[in-house]
A and B are shown apart, each in its own frame.
Chain A
Amino acid sequence: RKEVEQDPGPFNVPEGATVAFNCTYSNSASQSFFWYRQDCRKEPKLLMSVYSSGNEDGRFTAQLNRASQYISLLIRDSKLSDSATYLCVVNNYGGSQGNLIFGKGTKLSVKP
């Protein structure tokens, strides 16, 4: 089982749609969780950290369920500029794989 698994995608949605991405992780000792966004041929950029209580930033809501080892990202009112690959990232600080473990990413394409 991969350490971090994401929906394979791609997700093709119209502007204004709500889209949800899911992610599971295998190491119950994982300590911190993130969603990164990566535009085509660009570097990843932090979108949100994900806390146990859940957190929201404008149109973006992230949830964490430690018991199920599950992370989600909800994007409301999708914009064309949201088109990108979304990477689920788990910190296994001190673990054998070290540092941040990235999922393969889910590609989102928002159409007019």
Chain B
Amino acid sequence: DAGVTQSPTHLIKTRGQQVTLRCSPKSGHDTVSWYQQALGQGPQFIFQYYEEEERQRGNFPDRFSGHQFPNYSSELNVNALLLGDSALYLCASSLGLAGANYNEQFFGPGTRLTVL
């Protein structure tokens, strides 16, 4: 049973560029959440996708956008990259909206983004 997978594992971009990160949820899961984890910090919620719609969003600017496909996989897009966007981007999947009723979220290994 494949867990949550993310690609790429590492990425180096320069300021102003755009990046797309990809996530495939754990088999049987239909909900995907994205988190940003800066060094020495806990993960910060970006947004959550369920039934191909953004259901919840954290305090992130519109430069951060996403998409969920019919097969439940998801993409995170970041435009106009800033140095401060350098972080580990984590994808987590769950069955149903995560957090409700103690639904467990399973995290992928993350994509480490470096913005120069």
Q: Is the CB of A98 within 8 A of B105?
A: no
Q: Is the CB of A46 within 8 A of B104?
A: yes
Knowing A44-B107, A49-B102, A91-B99, the reply to whether A98 touches B90 (Cβ < 8 A) is no
The interface size of chain B toward A, counting residues with CB under 8 Å, comes to 28
Interface stretch of the complex, out of B12-20, B54-62, B66-74 = B54-62
Residues in B whose Cβ lies below 8 Å from that of A87: 42-43
Minimal beta-carbon separation of B52 from chain A (angstroms)? 18
Q: Is the CB of B47 within 8 A of A103?
A: no
Q: Is the CB of B56 within 8 A of A99?
A: yes
Interface centre among A31, A94, A98 (most CB of B within 10 A): A98
The interface size of chain A toward B, counting residues with CB under 8 Å, comes to 23
Knowing A98-B48, A99-B58, A105-B42, the reply to whether A43 touches B98 (Cβ < 8 A) is no
Minimal beta-carbon separation of B111 from chain A (angstroms)? 11
Residues in B whose Cβ lies below 8 Å from that of A101: 45
Q: Is the CB of A44 within 8 A of B43?
A: yes
Q: Which A residue's beta carbon lies closest to that of B101? A: A32
Q: Is the CB of B105 within 8 A of A104?
A: no
Knowing A91-B99, A98-B47, the reply to whether A46 touches B105 (Cβ < 8 A) is yes
From A97, A100, A104, contact of B59 by CB (8 A): A97
Q: Is the CB of B45 within 8 A of A100?
A: yes
Knowing A43-B90, A98-B48, A98-B58, the reply to whether A32 touches B42 (Cβ < 8 A) is no
Residues of B82-116 at the interface with A, using a CB-CB cut-off of 8 Å, are 90, 97-102, 104-110
From A43, A49, A94, contact of B107 by CB (8 A): A43
From A44, A46, A49, A99, contact of B45 by CB (8 A): A99
Q: Which A residue's beta carbon lies closest to that of B47? A: A98
Q: Is the CB of B43 within 8 A of A93?
A: no
Q: How far is A104 from B104 in the complex, measured between Cα atoms in Å? A: 20
Residues in A whose Cβ lies below 8 Å from that of B57: 98
Residues in B whose Cβ lies below 8 Å from that of A102: 35, 42-44
Q: How far is A49 from B100 in the complex, measured between Cα atoms in Å? A: 12
10 sampled A-B residue pairs with Cβ under 8 A: A4-B42, A44-B90, A44-B107, A87-B43, A93-B99, A98-B45, A99-B98, A100-B105, A104-B40, A104-B41
